[in-house]
Amino acid sequence: MLYLTLKALISGILVAAASEIAKRYPGFGALVASLPLVSVLGMIWLWRDKPDPQTMAAHAGATFWYVLPSLPMFLLIPALLRHGAPFWVSLVAGCVLTIVLYVGMTWAAPKLGIEL
């Protein structure tokens, strides 16, 4: 239980730090938020729990393919905000788009020979 708490605490601190930086320096905060910190931490935690190269390789490869459908959200949200849409509407629209694209990726990947 202590290990789980430690993982959650470290992960939470990184997210909080990114949001605090973004309040003062939006561009730098975006850079910090865009770093694959969650992915790297996830790989560290996974390796510690199950140090298996095949599992890690599968995880890292699948992470790459799942990042791709999340990227359009970061174009849709600012476009909606710049056109006067409320923040929460923009955020929900971005999340819905991402979910639709994740479903599409999950469906299309095996047909393209991509293992997720």
Confidence of residue 47 (pLDDT cuts 50, 70, 90): very high
Statement: residue 82 has pLDDT above 90: yes
pTM of the model: 0.79
Torsion-angle region of residue 85: left (phi > 0), alpha (psi -120 to 50) or beta? beta
CA 115, CA 94: separation in Å to the nearest integer?
26
pLDDT digits (tens, 9 = 90+) for 6-44: 888 988 888 898 899 999 999 988 888 888 888 898 899
Q: Please give the share of the chain, as a percent, with pLDDT higher than 90.
A: 70
The pLDDT, as a whole number, for residue 38 is 81
Q: Which two tokens stand for residue 39?
A: 């992915």
Residue among 38, 48, 34 nearest 14 (CA): 38
Could you tell me the residue ranges of all domains in the chain?
1-51, 53-116
The strand ranges marked E within the chain are none
